[in-house]
Structure 1
Amino acid sequence: MDKDTKQQTTEEMADVQLIIGKILRLGVLVSATVMLIGLLLLIVKGNGGYPNNTFPTDFTEIWHGIAQLKPYAIMMLGIFLLILTPVLRVIVSIYSFYREGDNLYVVITTIVLVILGISFVFGILR
């Protein structure tokens, strides 16, 4: 690898690290905003929108609850977005390691992504 190529790769990796930081900040900000909207709706409506203070536990219930502006469903969406934030970070990291040519870390990070995916599936099936 020549000097210009190394410098270009270093600059690109610095850009990717900035993107990762922005993804994490934006993800937390968006999820906190969604949860705050749900909290405000809870305060205004006086209940979570579900009988006996239960809450939605699957995506279908959450989406239907969001369409009906049920506070607990909106708060669950905020929690889902918060969980999704580090997953996006892992995906961007795979790209970053690939661009660096670090195949070992591409494999390791891909395994982490697969494990996260499997845990989500088992969480949904539970």
Structure 2
Amino acid sequence: MEKDMKMKLKKENEDLRKMELIISKALSIGVTTSAVVIFLGLLMLVITGNSGYPHGYYPTTPLSILRGFIALKPYAVILTGLLLLILTPVFRVAVSIITFFYEKDYTYTIITTLVFIILIISFLLGKVE
């Protein structure tokens, strides 16, 4: 009986390590991607010497930032990198939902889903002017 309990604890510890590794990779990918995008935008800004926008105008909505990113405007590329950095924790929560569901930990799946919904609602409410 004690041996079964030790085996179960060992498996739970391995599952926890796997989950932590998946989450840390998600965070690492998000931060690295945003850093690369910001660096490229900064490099473009230094090389071209301008932001890609008329003096005094800066994109303020995600859609206008995305349009500027597609047009390769240096300032919009930098802002896209910052948006990616802001969205990295949200991505982490989404990965956690999938990981908890995969591990059949439904209590944490529900809790993490509620946190995700709250994050999305806060982004949407923060957008309202």
Unaligned regions of 5+ residues in structure 1, if any? none
- One-letter amino acid of the structure 2 residue matched with residue 40 of structure 1: L
Distance 1:111 1:22 in 2: 23
Secondary structure at 2:86 match in 1 = helix
* More divergent stretch after superposition (114-123 vs 69-78): 114-123
With normalisation by structure 2, the TM-score equals 0.81
Secondary structure at 1:15 match in 2 = helix
| Identity percentage of aligned residues | 44
Counterpart in the other structure of 2:22: 19
Deviation readout 1:72-117 (Å, 9 max, x if unpaired):
11011101111111112112222343425251x3333222111110
Equivalent pairs counted in the alignment come to: 124
User: Which of 55, 58, 65 is the aligned partner of 2:58?
Assistant: 55
Unaligned regions of 5+ residues in structure 2, if any? none
- Tell me whether 1:38 sits opposite 2:45 in the alignment: no
With normalisation by structure 1, the TM-score equals 0.82
Distance 1:88 1:7 in 2: 29
Task: Decide whether the 8 Å contact of 1:42 with 1:48 is kept in 2.
Answer: yes
- Considering only aligned residues, what root-mean-square deviation do their CA atoms show, in Å? 2.2
Say which one has the larger Rg.
2
Task: Decide whether the 8 Å contact of 2:52 with 2:74 is kept in 1.
Answer: yes
Deviation readout 1:10-52 (Å, 9 max, x if unpaired):
3232111111111111211110110011111111111111122
